[in-house]
């Protein structure tokens, strides 16, 4: 029998777990202190603070609510833009039409949305040409929207 065999046979499962417990406790204590220091500090503060998960959930609820209102507003805005284009007709003045469109889009939050702004641009470029005979470039439309109140 070698020394290694004698040493292994003298270690019981109880002794193994007795040694493993404190080692694991120290390991996880170090990990918690190194990587989760802020969370541990907020856990021991007197007032309960919001965790990242709570903040993310609140942000998601808020963004879903505001996105829903933006989507609902998009339908109304498109109807209004269509009405402006049809009212202007074929004899529309380009600057006057652009001013009417900008006044309708003032205050509409969808212009900041990365999906809705290109959709509105495409809609106006295509429909202004076909309904009014006025051609807009993307730059003309965006330039007119830059100073709009939102």
- For the segment 118-130, what is each residue's pLDDT rounded down to a tens digit? 888 898 889 988 8
Quote the pLDDT of residue 70: 59
53: in domain: no
93: in domain: yes
Where residue 45 falls among pLDDT bands split at 50, 70, 90?
A: confident
- Nearest CA to 107 out of 65, 73, 143, 75 is that of 73
133: in domain: yes
- Distance, in Å, from the CA atom of 135 to the CA atom of 124, rounded to the nearest integer, reads 9
Where residue 112 falls among pLDDT bands split at 50, 70, 90?
A: confident
Q: Could you tell me how far CA 33 lies from the centroid of its own chain?
A: 31
Quote the pLDDT of residue 74: 79
Mean pLDDT score of the chain: 80
As given in the structure block, the two tokens for residue 147 are 């100073």
54: in domain: no
Query: What is the mean predicted confidence (pLDDT) over 36-64?
Result: 65
- Distance, in Å, from the CA atom of 125 to the CA atom of 148, rounded to the nearest integer, reads 19
Q: Does 35 lie in the same domain as 91?
A: no
26: in domain: yes
Q: Does 87 lie in the same domain as 21?
A: no
**Does residue 117 register a pLDDT over 70?**
yes
R_g of the chain, CA atoms, integer Å: 32
Q: Does 72 lie in the same domain as 37?
A: no
Where residue 27 falls among pLDDT bands split at 50, 70, 90?
A: very high
As given in the structure block, the two tokens for residue 56 are 């993310």
Q: Could you tell me how far CA 120 lies from the centroid of its own chain?
A: 20
59: in domain: no
- Distance, in Å, from the CA atom of 13 to the CA atom of 19, rounded to the nearest integer, reads 10
74: in domain: yes
**Does residue 25 register a pLDDT over 90?**
yes
Q: Does 137 lie in the same domain as 80?
A: yes
Query: What is the mean predicted confidence (pLDDT) over 43-50?
Result: 64
Counted domains in the chain: 2
- Distance, in Å, from the CA atom of 84 to the CA atom of 79, rounded to the nearest integer, reads 9
Q: What does each C-alpha distance from 86 to 33, 77, 124 come to in angstroms?
A: 66, 14, 12
Higher-confidence position of 4 and 46:
4
pTM of the model: 0.52
Q: Does 121 lie in the same domain as 70?
A: yes
Q: Does 140 lie in the same domain as 72?
A: yes
Q: Does 141 lie in the same domain as 85?
A: yes
36: in domain: yes
**Does residue 7 register a pLDDT over 90?**
no
Domain around 102: 64-145
Q: Does 115 lie in the same domain as 71?
A: yes
- Distance, in Å, from the CA atom of 124 to the CA atom of 113, rounded to the nearest integer, reads 16
């Amino acid at each position: 029998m070698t020394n290694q065999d004698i040493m292994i046979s003298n270690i019981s499962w109880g002794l193994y777990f007795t040694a493993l417990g404190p080692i694991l406790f120290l390991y996880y204590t170090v990990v918690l202190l190194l990587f989760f220091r802020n969370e541990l500090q907020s856990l021991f503060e007197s007032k309960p603070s919001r965790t990242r998960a709570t903040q993310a959930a609140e942000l998601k609820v808020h963004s879903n609510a505001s996105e829903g209102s933006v989507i609902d507003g998009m339908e109304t805005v498109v109807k209004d833009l269509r009405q402006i284009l049809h009212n202007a007709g074929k004899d529309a003045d380009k600057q006057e039409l652009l001013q009417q469109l900008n006044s309708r889009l003032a205050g509409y939050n969808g212009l900041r949305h990365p999906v809705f702004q290109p959709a509105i641009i495409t809609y106006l470029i295509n429909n202004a040409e076909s309904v009014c005979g006025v051609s807009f470039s993307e730059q003309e439309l965006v330039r007119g929207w830059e100073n709009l109140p939102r």
